[in-house]
Amino acid sequence: MTVVPTPVLSVRDAAVRYAGGVSALAGVSLEIHSGELLAIVGPSGSGKSTLLNIMGTLDRPTSGTVVIGGQDVTTLPDRQLSALRGRWLGFVFQQFHLSEGLTATENVTTGLLYAGVPRRQRSPLALTALERVGLAHRAGHLPHQLSGGERQRVAIARALVHEPTLVLADEPTGALDTANGRAVLELLTQLNAEGTTIALITHDRDIAAQLPRRVEIQDGRIVRDTAITAAADTPLGKGTAAAASGTGGAP
């Protein structure tokens, strides 16, 4: 009997509606499994940022569920939700969000504040994370002493320092020039090869095309998922893709 692994994150029939009947997401279903590297791609206003926010437990869907590590997080009180976010998820943002008065090491240690790591262990772990992203030699530098690419590497180290189950990267190359953007994408690919599960949100189809799995979102709906397409092309997958994608289909 084939054992199907439990997804690290599962969004099930999630909808987000605002006052006035505005719908940002409409019945989205998505599973992410351990070790994946995927792009969630769509134009501005497509719903990808809303999807990121509910995947990252920053917002709650109007209906549907978000399951992380087998637990429906939409039912958790805020304190438990913050604790789960601190243990399971890492975030990388377009604008870095580094504290100017803190060194690279100190900025990375902030990623451990909600992970229950004793203070004496935080700096050694931060240095290890900086080494993973190739910045151990810049550990004592302040953000204004770093290039844009280096600042994004510090942000990636901060996302990785507590060894999250899933890293959510929101337009991580958007504030960088072409060379630095390419270097950051190569770094994320390398980290994935080392075992980190990464979902990258982008509007750039060229970036998305370089990743093993692409989930396309438009008008609040997933319109294509290459993982589902690949499954449908296998003998065992034929006839099951529509159900797995959450987009429906004839029985």
Which structural domains are found in the chain, ordered by start? Answer: 9-229 (3.40.50.300)
Q: Which two tokens stand for residue 16?
A: 């987000």
* pLDDT at residue 46, as a whole number: 94
Dist CA 206 CA 203 (whole Å) = 9
pLDDT digits (tens, 9 = 90+) for 70-115: 899 999 999 899 889 988 999 999 889 999 999 999 999 999 987 7
pLDDT digits (tens, 9 = 90+) for 109-137: 999 987 778 899 999 999 999 999 999 99
* pLDDT at residue 4, as a whole number: 59
Give the Cα-Cα-Cα angle 19, 20, 23 (nearest 5 degrees).
75
Type and span of the H or E element at 194: none
Going by pLDDT thresholds of 50, 70 and 90, the confidence category of residue 19 is confident
On average, the pLDDT of the chain sits at 89
pLDDT digits (tens, 9 = 90+) for 221-237: 999 999 876 665 555 45
Report the predicted TM-score, pTM, of the whole model to 2 decimal places. 0.87
* pLDDT at residue 248, as a whole number: 39
Dist CA 211 CA 177 (whole Å) = 19
pLDDT digits (tens, 9 = 90+) for 144-166: 999 999 999 999 999 999 999 99
Burial class (CB in 10 A: 0-12, 13-18, 19+), 185: buried
Dist CA 185 CA 249 (whole Å) = 35
* pLDDT at residue 235, as a whole number: 52
